[in-house]
Amino acid sequence: MNQPVLGRRALLRAAAVSGAGLGLAQALPAWAQPLSKGLVRPLPTVSGNDIALIIGQVSVEVDGKVSRAVGVNGTVPAPLIRLKEGQRVRLRVENTLDEESSIHWHGLLVPFQMDGVPGVSFPGIMPRSTFDYEFELNHSGTYWYHSHSAYQEEDGLYGPIVVDPAGPDPVAYDREHVLVLSDHSPLAGATIYRKLKQMGGPYFNRQRMTLSGLLAGKDLTAKERWDWAQMRMDAADIADVTGSTYTFTVNGFGPFDNWTGLFAPGERVRLRIINASAQTTFNIRIPGLPMTVVQADGLNVRPVTVDEFQIGTAETYDVVVTPQDRAYSFVSEASDRSGLGRATLAPREGMSAPVPPLRPRPLLTMKDMGMGDMGGMDHSAMGQGGMSGGSANPARARGIDPTAQQNASGELWKLTGWKETVAAAATATSMAGMDHAAMRHAPAAAPATAAPPPDHADMGHAMPSSTATGQASAPMDHGSMGMRDFANAPQVDKNPGVQTISPMPVDRMGDPGTGLDNVGHRVLTYRDLVALQRNPDVRAPSRHLDIHLTGNMERYMWSFDGVKLSEPAEPIPFRLGERVRVRLVNDTMMQHPIHLHGHFFELVTGHGAHSPRKHTVNVQPGGTATFDVTLDAKGDWAFHCHNLYHMAAGMMRVVTVRSAEGDVQ
């Protein structure tokens, strides 16, 4: 029962190709070795009922550069923990660091005292000491684990968990690969956070708007820039930490290392995709290969086929693909387009496929400011009308600043022979793959730098509203008063840590995510997710709760309702068994992947008793996301933004779940 679900064929094939040059991969677990050496040798130490994990300092090599990291059992990412629904597991975690550590089982429903958040669920694992986690697995799916101490998650303490179902898996597949995405920096997480506190977003952002860009007629017009500057807002501030320091990794490998997973042509390959990054939102594509999403955050959803989806930090998606006899590039592009992660799916060892170029970084819009859909309606300012009906991304319409920098991964398209014309050319390396099925999907893989064909734009899952109204990027004359009017959020504490209050936040769960409007192919939105199984609790929520996501980018302060955890903030109280509708209102211009420990919640996206159940929801800038949650797990739980640096800055609360008597035991 500890064996991964693999075909015999797959094992034989993998065995045949093992032993490739793996010199650089010393610090990787077997399952993450290039060419999927893990297919041959799943780690025995991380299956079964008794698992030992040793947290310690390691040295890792990413794209040829060595840096210090924190790993588990000597590897980054940490070993795959493979469990089975219904089993009871004991995980003995030894901390060999000189600082406190911890492991949180992200998405697993465990007793609160086993949840692994120091100061909330337990005291933490002191230096040079051991802690035994023990719990039962009562659900299956793709999850992950990571440190909840200091910045260890950025420093490498993260790994995947797969819980195989006790019964038959409703998802049919012949083979699987686990893809753990991260953002690796040679800087320690503590250093990154210090720089952010000292200088804020501009420290790492090398794609800002400049005078050169203005003179070249790129990005925003002078008038639009002036309007943004008057509000002391930067439309190019998509990510706090960027490819200027990050190498975006897949299973610990950089884009040039090129982790490769093998398949036999025609197989149904399940990819378990985990965003284990500290703070990066990724756009996931496999050019030429549509992905059928079958699971979100560990729980099955009705299959929905897309060409791309955005995955917020801490989310997981399982997709099934049916590749032909050719190689494919798996691309995890940072949402600010400062770099990409890349892996290869191939039928044979040593193959690679063209890697698409990084698309131009998007700019924020009025909708990201919490001004709803009203937009500026100034189509002339967009410099492009007609075809796409007004782009949400002026950087695409007018072109991006000529001095904007992307990391080395931005050169991969040249090195891999990406052709701008048709993605079908990508199959040229594998003539055997020139079948008609692949050709039919070719347009979906066309480089997104080209203007989307109108029919595709119309067909796409992009928000109808954004296609219809066209969002001008410049604020109109709303006056800056409206941007920080506490009358719009009476519960928010009035303090300097609150820079803006969204005046007209709208539900953005139907949006594909920053920069993915009108990309010319099918992009997943939360609204496309429908739970495969009926929700366990379909009662109406007994009450409604608004929580505002607040911050100040200039001071690099982040909080809920204007109160940092350290203030100290009061817990958010719930009654055991009650069902509550929670609306998250993003009063900032950044994405916030919000995670509630110990529970799944149902997204309120119009799917009634089949609402998708998640543990993390990425709330789009200036928008809202709403979920219903049944508080069925007694105890104290962490509730926080999964952007590590937002959490470190205070964007976290303790959630209490108590029976009516207030008794927790």
Partner 1 sequence: MGHCTLPATVAPPQPVCAPEHAAMGHCTPSTASVAEGTDLPAGTGSPPAVPTDHAADAVYGPSAMAMGRHHLALHHGGQNFSMVMLNIAEAKIREGREGYKWNGEAWYGGDLNRLVVKSEGEGEFGRKVESAEVQALYSRAIGPYFDLQTGLRYDFEPNPSRVYATLGLEGLAPGFFEVDGALFLSDRGEVRARLEGFYDQRITQELILQPRAEINFAAQSSEDIGVGAGLTNAELGIRLRYEIAREFAPYIGVQYEQAFGETRDFLRNDGESTGGWSFLAGIRTWF
Q: Which of residues 564-623 bind partner 1 (CB under 8 A)?
A: 564-568, 570-571, 573-575, 578, 580-581, 602-611
Closer residue to partner 1, CB minimum distance, 85 or 578:
578
C-beta of 149: minimal distance to partner 1 in Å? Answer: 8
- Which of 45, 96, 113, 292: binder of partner 1 (CB under 8 A)? 113
Closer residue to partner 1, CB minimum distance, 47 or 611:
611
Which residues 6+ apart lie within 8 Å of 654 measured at CB?
Answer: 120, 565, 569, 571, 572, 636, 637, 638, 639
Q: Is 112 in the site for partner 1 (CB under 8 A)?
A: yes
Interactions with partner 1, residue window 385-404 (CB under 8 A): 403-404
> HSE on the CB side for 410, CA within 13 Å?
17
Interactions with partner 1, residue window 124-163 (CB under 8 A): 124, 149-150
Closer residue to partner 1, CB minimum distance, 559 or 591:
559
Spatial contact of 602 and 628, defined as CB atoms under 8 Å apart: yes
Interactions with partner 1, residue window 71-100 (CB under 8 A): 100
Interactions with partner 1, residue window 530-549 (CB under 8 A): 535, 538-545
Q: In what order do the strands lie in the sheet with 592-596?
A: 572-575, 652-658, 635-641, 592-596, 616-619
Closer residue to partner 1, CB minimum distance, 7 or 217:
217
Which segments within 298-392 are labelled E, that is strand? Answer: 299-306, 308-311, 316-321, 328-334, 340-346
C-beta of 635: minimal distance to partner 1 in Å? Answer: 4
Q: In what order do the strands lie in the sheet with 88-95?
A: 65-72, 50-62, 88-95, 129-136
**Distance, CA of 658 to CA of 633 (rounded, Å):** 9
**Distance, CA of 269 to CA of 177 (rounded, Å):** 8
Closest CA to 532 of 296, 310, 322: 296
Interactions with partner 1, residue window 170-229 (CB under 8 A): 194-195, 197-199, 203, 206-212, 226, 229
Closer residue to partner 1, CB minimum distance, 283 or 559:
559
C-beta of 499: minimal distance to partner 1 in Å? Answer: 4
Q: Is 511 in the site for partner 1 (CB under 8 A)?
A: no
Spatial contact of 505 and 585, defined as CB atoms under 8 Å apart: yes
N- to C-terminal Cα separation, the chain:
34
**Distance, CA of 76 to CA of 276 (rounded, Å):** 11
- 297 backbone φψ class: left, alpha, beta (φ>0; ψ -120 to 50): left
C-beta of 267: minimal distance to partner 1 in Å? Answer: 36
Closer residue to partner 1, CB minimum distance, 469 or 643:
643
Closer residue to partner 1, CB minimum distance, 70 or 250:
70
Interactions with partner 1, residue window 447-486 (CB under 8 A): 480, 484
Q: Is 440 in the site for partner 1 (CB under 8 A)?
A: no
Closer residue to partner 1, CB minimum distance, 47 or 559:
559
Classify 222 as helix, strand or coil. helix
C-beta of 627: minimal distance to partner 1 in Å? Answer: 8
Number of residues binding to partner 1, judged by CB under 8 A = 95
Signed CA dihedral, 24, 418, 447, 328: sign only: negative
Q: In what order do the strands lie in the sheet with 328-334?
A: 259-262, 340-346, 328-334, 282-285, 308-311
- Which of 123, 350, 454, 464: binder of partner 1 (CB under 8 A)? 123
DSSP labels for 503-532? SS-EE-TTS--TT-TT-SS-B--GGG--BS
**Distance, CA of 250 to CA of 34 (rounded, Å):** 10
Q: Which amino acid is residue 426, in one-letter code?
A: A
C-beta of 555: minimal distance to partner 1 in Å? Answer: 6
Spatial contact of 111 and 193, defined as CB atoms under 8 Å apart: no
- Which of 2, 45, 322, 405: binder of partner 1 (CB under 8 A)? 405
Closest CA to 78 of 8, 146, 4: 146
Which tokens belong to 418?
A: 């990406």
Kindly write out the interface string for residues 251-280 of this chain, putting x where it contacts partner 1 by CB under 8 A and - elsewhere.
------------------------------
For strands 269-275 and 316-321, give the pairing: antiparallel
Closer residue to partner 1, CB minimum distance, 381 or 655:
655
The conformation of residue 480, written as its DSSP 8-state character, comes to G
C-beta of 340: minimal distance to partner 1 in Å? Answer: 19
- Which of 89, 120, 319, 395: binder of partner 1 (CB under 8 A)? 120
C-beta of 81: minimal distance to partner 1 in Å? Answer: 23
Closer residue to partner 1, CB minimum distance, 23 or 663:
663
C-beta of 50: minimal distance to partner 1 in Å? Answer: 22
| Only segment of 46-54, 58-66, 253-261, 560-568 that touches partner 1 (CB under 8 A) | 560-568
Chain position carrying tokens 């629904």: 85
Closer residue to partner 1, CB minimum distance, 250 or 580:
580
Closer residue to partner 1, CB minimum distance, 225 or 270:
225
C-beta of 523: minimal distance to partner 1 in Å? Answer: 23
- Which of 36, 73, 101, 121: binder of partner 1 (CB under 8 A)? 121
Closer residue to partner 1, CB minimum distance, 469 or 586:
586
Classify 640 as helix, strand or coil. strand
C-beta of 229: minimal distance to partner 1 in Å? Answer: 5
C-beta of 483: minimal distance to partner 1 in Å? Answer: 10
Spatial contact of 409 and 253, defined as CB atoms under 8 Å apart: no
Closer residue to partner 1, CB minimum distance, 247 or 605:
605
- Which of 79, 118, 160, 298: binder of partner 1 (CB under 8 A)? 118
Spatial contact of 217 and 407, defined as CB atoms under 8 Å apart: no
Closest CA to 154 of 61, 247, 63, 89: 247
**Distance, CA of 67 to CA of 62 (rounded, Å):** 8
C-beta of 600: minimal distance to partner 1 in Å? Answer: 13
134: part of which helix (H) or strand (E)?
strand 129-136
Interactions with partner 1, residue window 345-364 (CB under 8 A): none
Closer residue to partner 1, CB minimum distance, 62 or 629:
629
Interactions with partner 1, residue window 306-325 (CB under 8 A): none
C-beta of 403: minimal distance to partner 1 in Å? Answer: 4
Q: Is 634 in the site for partner 1 (CB under 8 A)?
A: yes
Closer residue to partner 1, CB minimum distance, 259 or 601:
601
The conformation of residue 101, written as its DSSP 8-state character, comes to B
Which tokens belong to 512?
A: 């594909």
Which residues 6+ apart lie within 8 Å of 588 measured at CB?
Answer: 499, 500, 549, 550, 551, 553, 558, 621, 622
C-beta of 443: minimal distance to partner 1 in Å? Answer: 34
| Only segment of 90-98, 374-382, 614-622, 654-662 that touches partner 1 (CB under 8 A) | 654-662
